[in-house]
Amino acid sequence: MSSSSAPRQLPSLSARVHDLHASPIREILAVVGRPGMISFAGGLPAAETFPDFGLSAPDSVLQYGPTEGDPALRERIAEELADVGLDCGPEQVLVLSGSQQGIDLVGKLFIDPGTTVAVESPTYLAALQVFRFFGARFAPFTADTVSAAGFRDAKPAFAYAIPTFQNPTGHCYTTAQRDALAAACEGAGVPLFEDDPYRDLVYDACERRPVCAGLKDSPWIYQGSFSKSLAPGLRLGFLAASPEFFTYLVRLKQAADLHSNRLSQWLVLQQLESPERRERLAGLADFYRKKRDLFELALERHFGALASWETPAGGLFFWLTLNRRIDTRKLLPIAIEQGVAFMPGEAFYPDSPAATGTLRLNFSHAADDEIDRGLAQLAALVGAQQD
């Protein structure tokens, strides 16, 4: 991983970002907070007019703030990234309005109609949707097949991967698979966009070192989320990026929403600085580990003869491969009618295959006493299709 500011040739970016310039207003706003500054610039409302929400947060969270995010939060995030091996300064951290926003910004940064993006197959549905919306074509890879030769052939503008507790498969890349992805990016000069929202939901020992941390020369963007470790309604995530991308990403964020919600940023900072943070994360992992184990017992009971799966060492999903290649999209309306919902696997493939016989089951949401009943119903439905 390189965080140095040594000039590198800029990877090819989308046409649209070259027309996007920093807003002069945001630059003025960056200095109006200085003591003694009389500002007739910008459109800051008078702080005296803000309602009293009865918050213990400082009033400043109700005012406009920096696009990059509140400095104390960026610092704290940079410290946490250093702890997991990703050595970057707070000036490389951009606070996001949910990590979904990172996917949108990175899409805008790189993708013109016809641009190739390397993605895992299967991968996160909402990333495929965003990249498709910008006109991407996909070059699929898997943890086992990724190679510099493949990337050299496909010439993707960047590679998007979720190496830790992947969505939808739950797979956690081994050390060898992490090294192979890093080597493919470096060997072919492809920037890596690593999406890591599940890393704190860890139930069994496994390698979780960010792949970006193993890059020496390739430019990179790494992102995380507070949705799973704290609460999704806060809509807060972050990215860290190598210097050549950072300025563009800040401008794209300015254009999108000026900055992320400052009350959420303050709430998240309190959680990150809390002395109980480690204990809370351990409790979270214990809670979900029990849930995963309960779910797997029920899966063995009902799907043992119908499907195979890898026990997820973390994250929120089981990924089932049925013994027969049923199109699970056709099962969904019937299942819903019976009161059970699941995600058909086909939706997660970049090349939209006809039938894959795969499905994604989230184990974190249903109540314990619903899990067995729901899986029994679903298995009966699948079994009926297999006859």
Per CB under 6 A, residues contacting ligand PMP are: 98-100, 124, 162, 167, 195, 197, 225, 227, 232, 237
Minimum Å gap between C-beta 315 and ligand PMP is: 9
314-341 exposure pattern, b = at least 16 Cβ within 10 A, e = fewer:
bbbbbbbebeeebbbbebbeebeeeebe
Roughly what angle, to the nearest 10 degrees, separates helices 328-337 and 368-386? 130
Residue 19: other Cβ atoms inside 10 A = 7
Minimum Å gap between C-beta 126 and ligand PMP is: 7
Which CB atom, from 199 or from 251, has the smaller least distance to ligand PMP?
Answer: 199
Minimum Å gap between C-beta 99 and ligand PMP is: 3
Which CB atom, from 1 or from 162, has the smaller least distance to ligand PMP?
Answer: 162
Instruction: Give the C-alpha distances (Å, rounded to integers) separating 274 from 77, 156, 238, 270, 280.
Output: 14, 42, 19, 6, 10
Minimum Å gap between C-beta 113 and ligand PMP is: 24
Closest residue to ligand PMP in the complex (CB): 98
Minimum Å gap between C-beta 376 and ligand PMP is: 27
Closest CA to 312 of 194, 166, 175: 166
Closest CA to 259 of 118, 60, 81: 60
Minimum Å gap between C-beta 283 and ligand PMP is: 21
Which CB atom, from 127 or from 213, has the smaller least distance to ligand PMP?
Answer: 127
Which CB atom, from 228 or from 251, has the smaller least distance to ligand PMP?
Answer: 228
Identity of the amino acid at 261:
N
Which CB atom, from 167 or from 328, has the smaller least distance to ligand PMP?
Answer: 167
Which CB atom, from 68 or from 195, has the smaller least distance to ligand PMP?
Answer: 195
Cβ-contact 143, 175 below 8 angstroms: no
Q: Could you give the CA distance from residue 58 to residue 71 in angstroms, rounded to a whole number?
A: 14
Minimum Å gap between C-beta 198 and ligand PMP is: 7
Q: Could you give the CA distance from residue 82 to residue 78 in angstroms, rounded to a whole number?
A: 6
Pair of tokens at residue 53: 């929400």
Which CB atom, from 33 or from 140, has the smaller least distance to ligand PMP?
Answer: 140
